[in-house]
Structure 1
Amino acid sequence: MFSIIQAAGWPIWPLIICSIVALAVVVERLSSLRAARVIPPRLLDEVLSVTRANLPSPDVVNKLADNSILGRVLAGGVRAVIADPRITEDALRGTLESAGRAAVHRMERYLNTLGTIASAAPYLGLLGTVIGMIEIFGSQSPTTGSNPAMLAHGISVALYNTAFGLIVAIPALMFYRYFRGLVDQYTLDMEQAANRLVPHLLRFSMARASS
């Protein structure tokens, strides 16, 4: 590996840095976007069960918010009803939408970085190719002829950087698309969960209004 890096020359170092950053982002997102940490399968049903008769205590709501990203969204709705027992449907939906936007922003963390690397890596490889070609032409002299060592080095710089740029870009792009699809699916699931929670919580508001 070290010999390949030497043969590729200095243009490969930005690609190595990009590969390290991309790997770190992929590992972090694979951990953070697990279903158990975003949308636990039975969480909504448990919230509906706990709030069937009465609103939960603040400690229970805090535990719900710490449970997962969906838990934080649902906890925002429950807190809104606790804070304003006569809350309207529009206000409650607005609170859940605000919490949902914060949740989406949290799920999309670092994805722009990964997408940028996927887009920039081929160009960095192309930059190395251009530098290698410059060295190839620079090794040609009309008086002394070609320099085989410089010619070989220029070819190495050109080919290795192109290949390494693609090696970095292709997996980064695949994971970026995968994470984007995952976030979109989670966003849809959260919207459906919020739509189920709203009429359930509004029962308490209607009960206060009628009393």
Structure 2
Amino acid sequence: MFSIIQAAGWPIWPLLLCSVLALALIIERLVSLRAARIVPPRLLDEVLQLARGPLPGPDVVSKLEQHSVLGQVLAAGLRSAAQQPRIGEAGLRQAFESAGRAAVHQLERYLTALGSIATAAPLLGLFGTVVGMIEIFGAQAPGTAGSPQQVAHGISVALYNTAFGLAIAIPALLFYRYFRARVDEYALRLEQAAERLLPLLLRQSAATAAARAA
């Protein structure tokens, strides 16, 4: 491998940097986008059960917010309902939507960089190949013709960059598409969870308004 890197020349060093960066981003996203950290399986049922009684206090809401991404979205609705007892459906939906947008932005972190690497790696490989071809033909003296074996060897060495660029771009693109699908799935599940909690919070708001009116 080291001999290939030496033969490919200096254009391969940006590709090596891209490969290390892509691997780091893939590992980070695999760890961060685990379902247990985004939408724990029993959290929604526990919050729904909690919302059927008196609204929880600020300490409970803060712990829920720190629990997971789903907890952040649900905590936004609970906090809005507790701070504004007469809040309507539009206000609650606004709170959920704001928290949802922030959550999706958090889930999409580093995906743009990974997609950029998947797009740029083949171009960097092609650039390295073109540079290598220029060096091969530029090294020949005017009026002389190099042996076909030497030219063929030089071309094969120049193509190392293209091959390396494709080897980086293909897995980076596959993981980028995979992570995008995971983010879309999580966004849908967050939206569905908010829709299930919304009627309970509206019921609490209506009960509080009726009690104050009485």
Q: Deviations over 1:62-106 (max 9, x none)?
A: 111111001001001100011101101100000000000000000
Query: Where does 1:1-211 land on structure 2 (aligned, <5 Å)?
Result: 1-146=1-146, 151=151, 154-211=154-211
**1:145 Cα deviation after fit:** 3.6
In the superposition, the TM-score normalised over structure 1's length comes to 0.95
Distance in 2 of aligned mates of 1:150 and 1:189: 60
Distance in 2 of aligned mates of 1:40 and 1:116: 31
Q: Deviations over 1:24-61 (max 9, x none)?
A: 10000000000000001111100011121111121111
Distance in 1 of aligned mates of 2:109 and 2:153: 40
Which secondary structure does the structure 1 equivalent of 2:52 belong to? coil
Which secondary structure does the structure 2 equivalent of 1:158 belong to? helix
**1:17 Cα deviation after fit:** 0.4
* 5+ long unaligned stretches in structure 1: none
Give % identity: 67
Of 74-83 and 152-161, more deviation after overlay is shown by 152-161
Aligned length: 211
Instruction: Give the CA RMSD over aligned residues.
Output: 1.6
**1:155 Cα deviation after fit:** 2.2
Q: Is the 8 A contact 1:134 1:154 kept in 2?
A: no
In the superposition, the TM-score normalised over structure 2's length comes to 0.94
Distance in 1 of aligned mates of 2:35 and 2:194: 17
Distance in 2 of aligned mates of 1:68 and 1:87: 25
Distance in 1 of aligned mates of 2:117 and 2:16: 11
Q: Given residue 176 of structure 2, which amino acid in structure 1 is its aligned partner?
A: Y
Distance in 1 of aligned mates of 2:15 and 2:34: 28
Q: Deviations over 1:9-30 (max 9, x none)?
A: 0000000000111001000000
Distance in 1 of aligned mates of 2:82 and 2:185: 30
Q: Given residue 27 of structure 1, which amino acid in structure 2 is its aligned partner?
A: I
Q: Deviations over 1:145-204 (max 9, x none)?
A: 427897477424421101000000000000000000000000000110000110111111
* 5+ long unaligned stretches in structure 2: none
